[in-house]
Structure formats: structure tokens, C-alpha cells
Amino acid sequence: MSSFYRKIIFVLLVFACHISIAQENLPALNIVSEIKIIGNKTTKEHIILRELPFSVGDTINPENLTEIIERTRSNLFITSLFNFVTIETAYFHDTFLSFYITVEERWYWWPLPIFEIQETNFNTWWIDKDMDRVNYGMYVAKENFRGRKERLTFKLQGGYTEKIGFNYSVPYVNKKQTQGLDVSFSYSRNREINYNTLNNLRLFYKDENGYVKKQINTSLSYVLRPKLYNSHSFQISYTSVDLVDSVLFFNSELLSRNNNQSDFFSATYYLKRDKRNNKAYPTQGYFYDFQLTQNGLGVLDKEINNSYLKIGYRKFIKLAHKTYWAGLVKGKVSFTEVPYGLLGGLGYQNQLVRGYEYYVVNGNHFGLFKTQMRYGLIEDKIFKIKPLPFDKFNKVPISIYIGAYFDAGYVSENETTTNPNFLNDAWLYGGGASIDFVSYYDMVFRLEYSINRLNEKGLFIHFIAPL
């Protein structure tokens, strides 16, 4: 045998030995042979299977099994269909793996009285405790309608904002469960209207004898969710606003220039990617969203023609045992001048720099940054309330987190605003310490002691997660 052939045989033998050794080092993969859903008395099985990051026949690396189980639990919690989720695995063979998923469903039927504060946040209402700024009525919601994750709601409301409306959300209208629809309608009227801001405080016009604003909103959304974590929404909406002539005396450009009646269409594209471990109060994962809106489509009121872009990113990291970090970056850019009635900005609900709860900062553009360190004093502690006979309410999970936070924001002043607003076109800073209480049915209660750049200090209350 020639030297040339000996070299070829030697190389082939070395290559074969290398492949053999590499295969020996590869972990044995498991095959998902069974998925058993337990406890879903209302929810259809295919709705649950849609949220799983695996299906029957998939292969799973045993080294990733713990991570896959946690991801599955998070996906099911984010649906807001279940109070508790337990996932167990079993091997009936060295290769084949079975999943047993036990869910405890929430209460899905909510005929509830409405008691709602009509303010930018609870703290601004608490200054005067004005009961005229309270909404009341009846709110009826059927969650998980037909067991298909559909949502049907009706609202009949009186008080500060008199309103009647409904919403019907169908997450899946096709066999592949990738397309959904959402339709809503509301009619509202008010005796008072916010027409401008002065020194970053809202100014109001009120008529005790009549309604100063009447509004109709209706929308139709098409939702595309091709896989687990990304969803796209395309919405067309119609808005009709009717103001009394007296309002134009205070702000002639509240909507259309010197016009007390405006009808216009809007188009919105919205993208989100959600990989949080919990929707109400996440501690791990991330979430980002992107929104592009055009108000006015060249028909009806042609003076309404403005567009804006909003983008946000939230990140949640577990640093150590019971120690977490959370951060948010969010911004808005308007491509055209926006009338005050559609403007918005910082200071509304959770879109604010903590410590500035008593102010609003309106403008065409804004940026917002939030960060928080948290420590879990109590995490997912289950309390049994024996007097309650209802299984969906007598097991109460409680989590308590203490933390410290720092926020910053900036709002660019609207060019058409004539009143001075000293917080616009200036950096806003705020920070402090917090204690957050979290329970089932997405309940969050926060106590925060904040100090802002103006050296103003205060204790503030909120009912949603900080970011």
C-alpha cells in the first residue's frame, strides 16, 4: 500500500474517532410523548396548548428542562386565565417525557359596581377628595368567554364621565390560532373639560347646567400573533367630539381651529414582544412595544392631521436570591403639531416620573427612564381563608417587595402652548423608597416615598406596577 493511501486511511480513522467521541459527549435528548392538562373546567385545551413552548413529538435537552418549565408557567400566567399553575414531568422510558400541567382557573364572571377616580392618578384626587370627580355605575365583564380566552364587557357609568360602552375581544378566529379581532364602542359626556395647562397644572371649564363635551369612540382591530411572544395589531378607529362654543373662548385650538365639532378616523399599528414571567408584576424577562399612530386620514375633519411614534423597552433581572432589578426606557416623537386635546405627555397614570404625581407635563415629544432595585420580603406566600367557600378566592397568594428607585424624564413643549409650564423643556428627576404588595387577580398596591428635583417630598399611593 502506498504512502498516499496510508495517509488517507489515517485521516479517515481520526475523523471517525472524533465523531464517535463527540457523540458520546452529546446529552441524550428527550422526546415529548404526552401533554396532560388538568383542572381546566372552562378553558378549552387548545387555548392552553397554544401557550406552550413545546408540543408532542418535540425534542428537549434535559439541561434546559427547568428553564422550559419556568417559561411555560410564565406563558400561562400572562394569559390572566389562571391563579395557580403547577407543572410536573414524568419519565416512562429513558427517552420519552410526559408533562402534567395542573391549572386553577380564575373567576371569569364579573358584575361589579364602578367606583373610579377621574384623575391623572389617585394622589391628585386625594388632595381635595372631590366626590364630583368620581365615576360610579355597573361594569359587567365575562372573561374567558366560551372558554376560548375571549373577553366581553359592558359598562354603564355615571358621575364625572357619563358613559355607555362595550368591547368584544376574540383572540383567535382561525384554526391555526394566529389571528384575532377586537371591536369596541363607547359614548360619553362630561360637564367639565380640561382645556389647557398652567404651571403644569390642568385648567378646567365646567357648566353645572349642561354638558360641555360629548364624544363617540369606536374601533376595530385585527391582531396577528404568528408565534408565542410577538403580536401585531392593526386598528382603525373613529372619533366624534362635540364641544360647547364656550370652550373655544378658553382654547380655540383644543381640537380643530375655531371649531367645536370634530370627526376623524385614526389608524394605528402596534407591535409588542412579551417575555415577562408575570404581566401584573414581573420580576424576570423583558417587554418591548412599538406604536405608530396617524390621527386624521384625509377625510371628515381635514384639520386633524397628526402622527406620532411611541416605543418602550422594559427589562427585569433576578440578581440574586430574592433580589431583582427592573428598568424602563420609553419615548414619544410627534411628526406634526398636535392639538391640546390629543397631546398627552408625562403625568398620566403610570407614565410619569415618580415624585411629580401632582403635575402634568404635556408636549409633542417626551422621554422617560425608570429603574428600581427590589428585595422580596415575602414571595408567593399562600394564605388559606377558610371562611370563604369559593375555591377561586380562598387561596390568596401574597408577595411583598421593598425597593429603591430613580426616575428621569424630559418633555419638549408644544409650540402652540401659550401658557408657561416650568417643567417643560427641563430634565425631571425623582427617586425614593417603596413597598409593593402583590396578590391574585393582578392586584398591586404600592406605597412610595419620593423626592423630586424641586425638593418636594411626599408619600404616594399607586395601584399598578411601577414599570
Confidence (pLDDT) at 419: 56
Instruction: Let me know: does 270 contact 235? Beta carbons within 8 Å.
Output: yes
Bridge partners, 420 (sequence order)? none
* pLDDT tops 60 at residue 206: yes
Q: First-to-last CA distance in the chain?
A: 75
What's the DSSP call for residue 208? T
Rounded CA-CA distance 425/14 in Å is 70
Q: Given the C-alpha cell 390572566, which residue does it identify?
A: 80
Read off the C-alpha cell for 169: 375581544
Rounded CA-CA distance 160/190 in Å is 6
Average pLDDT over residues 302-329: 95
Instruction: Let me know: does 394 contact 384? Beta carbons within 8 Å.
Output: yes
Read off the C-alpha cell for 306: 397628526
Instruction: Let me know: does 342 contact 255? Beta carbons within 8 Å.
Output: yes
Confidence (pLDDT) at 447: 96
Rg from Cα positions in the chain = 27
* pLDDT tops 90 at residue 248: no
Q: Pick the residue with more confidence: 323 or 30?
A: 323
Q: Tens digits of per-residue pLDDT, 442-451? A: 899 999 999 9
Q: Tens digits of per-residue pLDDT, 230-247? A: 999 999 999 999 999 888
* pLDDT tops 60 at residue 415: no
Rounded CA-CA distance 155/137 in Å is 8
Closest Cα partner for 258 from 269, 273, 243?
Answer: 243
Domains of the chain: 3-105 (3.10.20.310), 109-462 (2.40.160.50)
User: Which distant-in-sequence residues (6+ apart) come within 8 Å of 231 by Cβ?
Assistant: 223, 224, 225, 271, 272, 274
Amino acid of residue 333: V
Q: Tens digits of per-residue pLDDT, 328-347? A: 999 999 998 888 888 889 99
Give the H or E element holding residue 451.
Answer: strand 444-452
Average pLDDT over residues 400-418: 84
Q: Given the C-alpha cell 393582578, which residue does it identify?
A: 442
Read off the C-alpha cell for 280: 401584573
Average pLDDT over residues 356-361: 95
Burial category of 200 from C-beta neighbours within 10 Å (exposed 0-12, middle 13-18, buried 19 and up): buried
Confidence (pLDDT) at 27: 59
Q: What is the DSSP string of 275-320?
A: --S-SSS-SSEEEEEEEEEEE--SSSSTT--EEEEEEEEEEEEEEE
Instruction: Let me know: does 375 contact 425? Beta carbons within 8 Å.
Output: no
Instruction: Strands of 172-305 (E only): list them.
Output: 179-190, 192-198, 201-206, 213-224, 230-243, 261-274, 285-295
Average pLDDT over residues 9-13: 46
Instruction: Let me know: does 233 contact 222? Beta carbons within 8 Å.
Output: yes
What's the DSSP call for residue 260? S
User: Which distant-in-sequence residues (6+ apart) come within 8 Å of 186 by Cβ?
Assistant: 155, 163, 164, 165, 166, 216, 217, 218
Average pLDDT over residues 288-295: 96
